[in-house]
Amino acid sequence: MLITNATLITWGLPNQILEAHALYLADGRIAEIGPEAELAAHHPEAERLDAGGQYVMPGNICAHTHFYGAFARGLGIPGPAPKDFLEILQKLWWPLDKSLTHDDVHASALVMLVDAIRHGTTTLIDHHASPNAIPGSLDVIAEAVEQAGLRAVLCYEVTDRDGPDRARAGIDENLRFINRQSRTTNPQPRIAATFGLHASLTLSDATLDACRQVAPDGVGFHIHVAEHEVDEYDSLAKSGLRIVDRLQRHGILGPRTILAHAVHVDAREINLLAETGAWVTHQPRSNMNNGVGVSQVESLMRAGVKVCLGTDGFSSTMWEEWKTAYLLQKVWNRDPRRMSGVDVAQIGVYNNAALAGMFFPDARLGVLTPGAHADLIFVDYHPFTPLTAGNLPWHIIFGFHESMVTATIVGGKVLMRDRQLLTLDEESIAARARELAPAVWERYQKLVPL
Ligand SMILES: [Zn+2]
């Protein structure tokens, strides 16, 4: 397929804005990039996709999310509002995840995948929980991702909060899915697996050791870390160690492990993160909503930690997350020089691409270059001032909106064109979700502690 009439944003190093250039896609990859006249002459027979003068750029990547949280939208929490993070877990997330059946898991995943395609997010790293429907839950999500045509990394969050049988079931679900996706004949090459853990505060030493023991070589973990002080206090009480030290002792850290949040880590923990090469994901909208504090993103980056950007179950609107990350550090530090647009692009583009790329190593992700995965979006943006490689981060922060995404392509397959979804039936997915959500809410109401 030949994409013509486009201005390309490559997100290469250095980034380039290429006017009157075309992309030739073949076998799910970007085969060639060049001046339009030249490429058109090389491939006269190719199917054409006219970008109508729009920007064409790599699809966005979300480094941490929860598809299963979709039905929380509109859900009323009975009794007094949760007063802190632990109560948010106890009164919202834990009774909600217990209320999910496989049907609900499937429907909530589809809802979130519609949202991702519409908003130009082409790769998502999910963290799943459904304690009353554990075995096979990752297959159910994988089926939805496969149908959507997106790229995803899946895991099940192991936890001791529901007893030893469910902890074991969580471990088994991760292992089963990891083995399934690591076969050399993996039938779903756009789906990868990692090993999920909930958070230090719901994991015993024995369970951490059991996970470490059974996780295959080369597989990392995906876990929440120090989202709120309560996680650190719990770790100190249980082990005498701060969380990152505790995870290090149990062999959980390493260059394939993802730690979500890291809001309350201390200087030594930051050094450990840098030394072990673990990834940290930043979710400023979630942190603000839960009132858990502000991650010291710049300090983490200065210490050499690889910081990425996720949504934590918020809408897959990555530029919204960019804007929040950019604004939050300025008001928190009361200094408008903090968190430059270049830093936001570093985490939201380059680091996210490096993290996601680890799971899909057969070609590059998040960059327009020959040989890379053809994961692209079209953006209908008309700048009032010249857009350059240098000022692009600020154009995105102050000018771009996800509603400007008109086409989404993954692995060379068009998932949305002229804002029309081609792989998913949005209307019937929404109708099915509206059918299921009230029953989930009813089960939730019976489980929620007052
Ligand atoms: Zn999370």
Q: Are 218 and 179 within 8 A, CB to CB?
A: no
| pLDDT reported for residue 186 | 77
| pLDDT reported for residue 331 | 98
Compute, in angstroms, the gap from residue 244 CA to the centroid of ligand 1: 17
Compute, in angstroms, the gap from residue 14 CA to the centroid of ligand 1: 32
Under DSSP, the state recorded for 373 is B
Long-range contacts of 228-236 (CB under 8 A, 24+ apart): 228/84, 228/85, 228/86, 228/263, 228/264, 228/290, 228/292, 228/293, 229/264, 229/293, 230/84, 230/85, 230/86, 230/201, 231/199, 231/200, 231/201, 231/264, 232/264, 234/200, 234/201, 235/200, 235/201
Please give the structure tokens belonging to residue 162: 């529901």
- Secondary structure of residue 151 in the 3-state scheme: strand
Compute, in angstroms, the gap from residue 434 CA to the centroid of ligand 1: 24
> pTM of whole model > 0.95?
yes
| pLDDT reported for residue 221 | 98
Residues of the chain with pLDDT under 70: none
Q: Are 357 and 364 within 8 A, CB to CB?
A: yes
Compute, in angstroms, the gap from residue 62 CA to the centroid of ligand 1: 12
| pLDDT reported for residue 2 | 98
| pLDDT reported for residue 182 | 85
Under DSSP, the state recorded for 381 is -
| pLDDT reported for residue 389 | 97
Compute, in angstroms, the gap from residue 425 CA to the centroid of ligand 1: 27
Query: How close are the terminal C-alpha atoms of the chain, in Å?
Result: 57
| pLDDT reported for residue 183 | 76
Compute, in angstroms, the gap from residue 195 CA to the centroid of ligand 1: 14
